[in-house]
Amino acid sequence: MKETTKKRELLGRLYIVMVFVVLTALMLFGKAVKISVIEGDRWRAKGDSLYLKFMPVVADRGDVLAADGALLATSLPFFEIRMDLKADGLTDQLFAEHVDSLAWYLSKYVNPNFSPQYFRNHLIKRRAKGDRYLLLAKDVNYEMLGKVKQFPLLRHGPYKGGLIVERQSRRAKPYQMLANRTIGYVREDVQPVGLEGSFDQYLQGEAGKRLMQRVSGGTWIPVQDLSELEPLRGDDIRTTIDIELQDVVHESLMQGLLRHNALYGTAILMDVKTGAIRAISNIGATENGWAEDYNYAIGAANEPGSTFKVASMMAMLEDGLATPDTRVDLEKGKTRFYRSDMYDSRMHGVEDTTLRYAFETSSNVGIAKTVNELYGKTKNADRFIERLKSFHVHEKTGIEITGEGTPVIKEAYSQKDHWSGTTLPWMSTGYEVKLTPLQTLRLFNAIANDGKMMKPYLVSEVIRDGKPVRQFGPTIVDGRIASAQTIRTMQDLLLGAVERGTGQYQKTDQYKFAGKTGTARVDYYMKDAPRKMYQASFAGYFPAEDPVYSCIVLIYDPKQNGYYGSAVALPVFREIADKCFALKPEYTPPVNETDEARPDGELVFADVREGYRTDIEDVLEYIGVGFSTTRDGEWAESGQEGELMLQKKEFSGGEMPDVRGMHLRDAVFLLENQGVTVHCEGYGKVVTQSIRPGTPIREGVRIDLKLR
């Protein structure tokens, strides 16, 4: 009886297990049918997507162009050559027939450091391992790509030869350091900077797509040679930069930094009427030499020093509280505000004088005392601040590049701004305020432009397929920042600062320029500073009578040969102005324009001296001066035998040429072609050269030219 009961229990349990197994099998079978039949298409597509997918193809970036169309930044294509050694059409027979030849070509044209035998063994070994993405060559240009495509085996293409070509691009700047930081860059995982960053939406183009297959090792290779969707190249942008002027500004600034062993410097050249920036240079000292590592012109807001006296003077004039003839006691160069002493640049002994003299000689005492008397003692500092704001010195310029420094103009009597009894006099001389060089230049440019303030800008148009699709023109910020009388007075004062004041040692008889020097001590708050650090600047415009360009030069921490704005920054400004006149003859009076009549019968010869023969002939024909010529040689000099005669001018290679009498452009061309570094001063024609003609030229030699 017991045995029968046990059997029944065992059978019952067995039946339960069998039923469970059958049900599970039926459930698994049903799931398999559902996956393979009902949902088959969806799961097969999903499985394929693990091995095939569309991947983006990066488009070539558009070009950054100078005003004349010269390339400032462009994308240069290069290629990686790879090989799918298990391509479907690459049979063992085909591989064996051509592997020796392919190895020879790779050794001869791709990497001569490795022998044909090495390449042959390498190809055989990688094919045996099933390598489908073998690197053969990288950084290949178009010319080399054409050769590689004709190599044995590879000439059969992707299917039979296993050829894989991957196109890439690299950003290049043909002018290297010129305006490098202003042009900027866009890099992965790095904050974009400059015009490349600000106009990335136009420059980047539209990515394409390409079907790729995942092979062993997780590598993705193209299924076919062409993209499914071709990428669209980015738009070009045309800047306002003039390459010739950019070169002038950069080189002049570089020489100034070297001369004074400074930490960094910046210079900006701007079109007065439009606000278009024609040149902008930022050079700093690094561990690896000089570089454009930061855009000081736009991003660095510092205490400007005496260039800010322009705003203080204009405020007093516009409020009708003072004139250039207002009397002020300079106290021989030292005064006291509360418990703080203020000094002029030197103890000069001058006491009672005019506000004009104080401004033109950049007297801290004179400007600060007058501003404090008119606004501070009457508790009207807020009126002074509001007047400054009417000149827009508290506003950013809105330049296209990101990272513009924020100007600082304190609010009157504000505890938050740390207003004190000495703030007003110190503000009036350019301390306890902050401006970027570009913000300072905008103010000077408005004065040069008869009171009309223009927005500085760097890009004139966006170009697609050679046609402009968006244009950017001059923008007026304020039609008149001050009355016509105030502006005329400021123009007169700025000219006086050069003719009679701190800039008088750099004035020239060739043209007139106007502006203001600035010298600011940057570490005055450090009582234990090991040495005093200064910032030297000069802001102005030229020619003074009908301004074409405004310019600011700032040099930070000059360590030798002076530190005042007049000794450090102004000579750089003057060199820039000189070269602008030399490069832009439209700002020079025509050679046949004169106010004096010649006596009848007097024979006057054109002063052509010597230069490039065809240029001289073109000019003489244009102005209607008769001449004869031997038409012999590229260079010519003038001789006079009853008429103007051009005769051959010869130069010996390897010897210092005689460039006296030449204009700057011809002289520089001749000398630089001989490997000579040229430094020049003045405007007009070369009158002296530091190395005697005929002297053998040594490598790296420098020559100084004086022009008049």
* Average pLDDT across the chain, whole number: 86
- CA-closest candidate to residue 666, choices 588, 608, 623, 591: 608
Q: What is the pLDDT of residue 648?
A: 53
Helix (H, G, I), strand (E, B) or coil at 264: strand
Domain ranges of the chain: 55-239, 246-586, 610-707
Residue 601's pLDDT is: 47
Is it true that domain 610-707 has CATH number 3.30.10.20?
A: yes
- pLDDT category at 274 given cuts 50, 70, 90 is very high
Q: pLDDT (tens digit, 9 = 90+) per residue, 75-92?
A: 888 888 999 888 888 999
CA 495 to chain centroid, in Å, comes to 30
Residue 73 phi, psi (nearest 5): -150, 135
CATH architecture of 246-586: 3-Layer(aba) Sandwich (3.40)
- Measured from the Cβ of residue 559, the count of other Cβ atoms closer than 10 Å reads 12
What pLDDT, on the 0 to 100 scale, is given for residue 634? 62
Q: Rounded distance, CA 245 to CA 272, Å? A: 15
Res 656 pLDDT > 80:
yes
Q: Name the least confident of 520-534, 569-583, 608-622.
A: 608-622
Tell me the C-alpha distance between 203 and 193, whole Å. 13
Which of 666, 655, 671 minimizes the C-alpha distance to 609? 666
Q: Is the pTM of this model over 0.85?
A: no
Mean pLDDT of 575-597: 69
Rg of the chain's alpha carbons, rounded to an integer? 37
The reported pLDDT for the residue numbered 122 is 93
- Helix, strand, coil share of the chain (percent; to 5): 35, 25, 40
Do the strands 236-239 and 64-65 form a parallel or antiparallel pair, or are they unpaired? parallel
At 120, list the tokens.
């042959």
pLDDT digits (tens, 9 = 90+) for 325-373: 999 999 999 999 988 999 999 999 999 999 999 999 999 999 999 999 9
pLDDT at 14 over 80: no
Which percentage of the chain shows pLDDT scores above 70?
A: 83
Q: What confidence tens digit (pLDDT) does each residue in 588-637 have? A: 555 444 444 444 444 444 455 566 667 666 666 666 666 666 555 666 55
**pLDDT digit string, tens, across residues 462-495:** 999 989 999 999 999 999 999 999 999 999 999 9
- pLDDT tens digits, residue range 537-566? 999 999 999 999 999 999 999 999 999 999
pLDDT at 452 over 90: yes
Instruction: Give the burial class of 156: count Cβ atoms within 10 A of its Cβ; 0-12 exposed, 13-18 middle, 19 or more buried.
Output: middle
CA dist 679 → 20, 63, 667, 686 (Å)? 99, 32, 11, 12
The confidence score (pLDDT) of residue 597 equals 47
The superfamily in CATH containing domain 55-239 is Penicillin-binding protein 2a (Domain 2) (3.90.1310.10)
Burial per residue of 260-285, b for 16 or more beta-carbon CB atoms within 10 angstroms, e otherwise: bebebbbbbbbbbbbbbbbbbbbbbb
Q: Is the pLDDT of residue 171 over 60?
A: yes
